[in-house]
Amino acid sequence: MRQEAQTEEKLPQEKELICLRQRRGLERMKEMSMTGQLATSKAGHDKDTLYVIVAEAGDFVLVCDGRLKKPENPKRKRRKHIQPINTFVDEALLAKLQSGERIYAEEIRYALKQYNQRILHKESVKMEEMYV
């Protein structure tokens, strides 16, 4: 009986810790510059679409994929509706994004294509290792 009471007491504390960690994660995400980072959409009609974050505006980020959403007219999404990927575009494109220079849709498409090829290559290597 005493053990049951202790486990019930731990649950609210654990929930509190989880909430605190999530808040800290959101705060860190807001502090870091996400410009040039790859992200997928978590919500909306474009769910699971891969984007490049081209700018930040408060609680929103501006994303483009170089095909439907071009750099001239990026899509505005709330931070909570995207899932950042721990990958950035190459240095040349990142420097252009951070300095505010003009970027072209081809550059965005090329960056996304490079990322997709890296992922496919990793998957094919894993598959080969499984069958060897």
pLDDT one-digit tens code per residue, 1-20: 555 555 455 566 666 666 65
pLDDT one-digit tens code per residue, 43-75: 889 999 999 999 998 899 999 999 999 999 999
Lowest mean pLDDT among 14-18, 29-33, 70-74, 113-117: 29-33
pTM recorded for the entire structure? 0.70
Q: Which residue did the predictor score with more confidence, 48 or 24?
A: 48
Q: What is the CATH number of domain 33-131?
A: 2.30.30.30
Q: Map residue 67 onto helix, strand or coil.
A: coil
Query: ∠76-102-117 over CA atoms, to 5°?
Result: 75
